[in-house]
Every structure is written in C-alpha cells, then in structure tokens.
Structure 1
Amino acid sequence: MSARPVEIALVKAGRTKIRYPAELLTDDGVRLTVRAPWAAEGVRDFGFVRFEPGDVFTEHYWRDRWYAVKEVRSGDGTLKGWYCDVTRPAVVAADGSEVLVEDLDLDLWVSADGGEVLRLDEDEFAASGLAAADPEAAGRAVRALDELDALGRDGLVELLGGEG
C-alpha cells in the first residue's frame, strides 16, 4: 500500500482536541499505522521528553484495542521513545479519510532505551468523571494502561510487529 493522506481527529471529553494531517502507511483492517510531523504549535517540554517542530510520529491505532502507540523521532531520525495514549478503539471513516480517536486521559511514556516507563495523567483520569459516567470504559482504560505498562517494560517491538 502506498502512503495516502488521512486526517487524525483526537477528541477529548466530547470536543476535538486536535486535528492534523498524516500519511496512512498500512491498514490491515485491525491496526493502522500513520506518519505525521509534530502537529502542535511550538515546543512541548514534558520534562522527560520534548516534542518540537521537526519531530516525526509513527502512530499505531487499533480498531479493537483501547490504546494508541506513537513512536517519536527527532528530525534527524533519532528515536526519542514511545508516547502511548489510552483511547477508545479507533474509528475509521467509511471512505478512509479520517481516523477518530477518543482520548481517555491516561498516558504512558517509554524512553528510547526502555529504561524509563512513566504512567502519566492518572490524576486527570480520576478527575474526568469517567468512572462514574461509564464504569465499563473506565475499567477498560485502566486495564489498557496496565497492559501498556507491561509492554513498555518488556519492549514494544513485539506489539508493533518488529517495527519499533
């Protein structure tokens, strides 16, 4: 499959958080992989990693899993690590032009050398009210973070089919 344009729409709490263009690299009907440049304005410094103009994200979305895994590389190709979002399963538009992803607040960072695995935004998740509003989704989100944490500690390459 040759790369073709697709738009990624990240929704949080019913509102579009960000929308950005990407190139669809593969789609096997369950997992799709896109590549996109850093889409936000300027630099975002998390303390443990900086996302900045020139960075390239290879993003893996699943239609049957409650997370997305984003490999982050600097403009010169150096691997920074993997940013993992806990999300509802991705929804792809019938015409394939858009991937809709609902962010559920929980995140995980895995450094390039695998030495650092950080669970992020658990306070935001607790404050989101999802546990009361949709206990089943909240339970799936927590299990997804636990799964990502284990995968991060064991290496994400197996999950990504040797791509990482």
Structure 2
Amino acid sequence: MPANSSDERRSLRVVLVKYGRTKISYPAELLRDDGNRVTVRAPWAGDDARDFGFVRFERGDVFTEHYWRDRWYSVKEVRDAEGVLKGWYCDITRPATVSGDELVVEDLDLDLWRSADGRTVLRLDEDEFAASGLASTDPEAATAAEHALDELEHLAREGDFESLLD
C-alpha cells in the first residue's frame, strides 16, 4: 500500500508469533506493500543489546524488514546508528499476513545470518527447529521451512541474495 494522500508514511505493528503466542510486537514504518512483499523499517525492538557472537544488535540499530505473503522467510537488513550495514538476519517463517494495521508472521525457529561483506553465512537454530516437533505435527510446514532455509543459504553464498530486496 503506498503512502497515504498526505505523503505521511503509514505505520504497522509487526507481530512475531512463536508456538501460538506473541513473542514480540513493535511499531514499524511501512515503506512498501506491493501486494506480495511488505517492507517496513523499525529500530531495534529489544530492551537490551543482544550479542549473538557473530553480530550484536543494540539501541540505535535500524532494521529494514522484508516479508512475503508467498514465501516462507523474512529478510531483515541491519544497520547501526550511523547507517553502516552489519548484515542480514533471516527468519524462516510461515508466509506473512497483513490484517488492518498488523503484519503477523509465525517464526519457525530456523534462521540464517549473512554478514555485510557476504563472507559469513550461518545457519542458525537447527537444534531448536528439530526440538519444536514441527516435523511430526505439521510435516508440510517443516518441509517448506527446510526448503526455505536451503534456498536462502544458496542465495547468500552464490551472490544473488541482494536481488531479493530489489
């Protein structure tokens, strides 16, 4: 959905659901909604800094987040307060839905990190995914999630990754 007639950006509330419960919810500025991909921008939503070992998210970081209604992942570009690119954090999710002023996405535990220079690509939380039991409770979703992670990893390693965000 484009900006409204007064050229003000619309805000959405991003709602990340995990295991049927809201994990986190935060306001974001809607940058673009072409009917399939929704792009929003939001500051780091955590109360405290979070150090993953390979990247640190902290106050002042800005996330430009891309969600798709037909893909099983989201891609979040992460920049520090000065605008320096840290990299991309990707969540494997069910396809996003937008209802009113809420963008809702269900996290399926698998994640991928790609550093700003593209040299580091990490598959994350595969142990959490296995422990979630999704493979037995919803085998089709589990298969879609695994394929999405494989696709993102391939794009991240082969150099076509940034074309996702054009």
Residue 130 of structure 1 pairs with residue 134 of structure 2: yes
Q: Letter of the aligned partner of 1:5 in structure 2?
A: S
Give the gaps of 5 or more residues in structure 2: 4-8
How far apart in 2 are the matches of 1:140 and 1:9? 21
Distance 2:155 2:89 in 1: 12
Q: TM-score, normalised by structure 2?
A: 0.94
Q: 1:84 aligns with which of 76, 90, 96?
A: 90
**Is 2:76 aligned against 1:70?**
yes
- Distance in 2 between residues matched to 1:153 and 1:43, nearest whole Å: 28
* Separation (CA, whole Å) in 1 of partners of 2:158 and 2:13: 31
Q: Which amino acid aligns with 2:102?
A: E
Quote the residue 2:163 is aligned against.
158
Q: What amino acid is aligned across from residue 114 of structure 1 in structure 2? A: G
Q: Provide the residue aligned with 1:145 in structure 2.
A: 149
How many percent of aligned residue pairs carry the same amino acid?
Answer: 70
Matched, 1:22 2:28: yes
Q: Give the deviation of 1:157 after TM superposition.
A: 1.3
Structure 2: distance between partners of 1:111 and 1:87: 20
Q: How far apart, CA to CA, are the structure 2 residues paired with 1:42 and 1:36?
A: 16
Alignment partners' CA distance in 1, 2:162 and 2:92: 18
C-alpha separation between the residues in 1 aligned to 2:106 and 2:89? Answer: 16
Residue 51 (structure 1) aligned with residue 54 (structure 2): no
State how far apart, in whole Å, the 2-side matches of 1:41 and 1:114 are: 28
Instruction: Identify the residue that residue 9 of structure 1 maps to in structure 2.
Output: 15
Aligned residue-pair number: 159
Confirm or deny that 1:98 pairs with 2:99. no
Deviation at 1:118, TM superposition (A): 0.1
How far, CA to CA, are the matches of 1:43 and 1:34 in structure 2?
21
Whole-angstrom distance in 1 between the partners of 2:52 and 2:93: 20
- In 2, distance between residues paired with 1:152 and 1:84? 10
Give a deviation string over 1:48-68, Cα, whole Å, max 9, x none.
Answer: 000000000000000000000
Q: Deviations over 1:28-76 (max 9, x none)?
A: 0000100000001110000000000000000000000000000000000
Q: Which runs of 5+ in 1 are unaligned?
A: none
Give yes or no for the alignment of 1:109 onto 2:109.
Answer: no
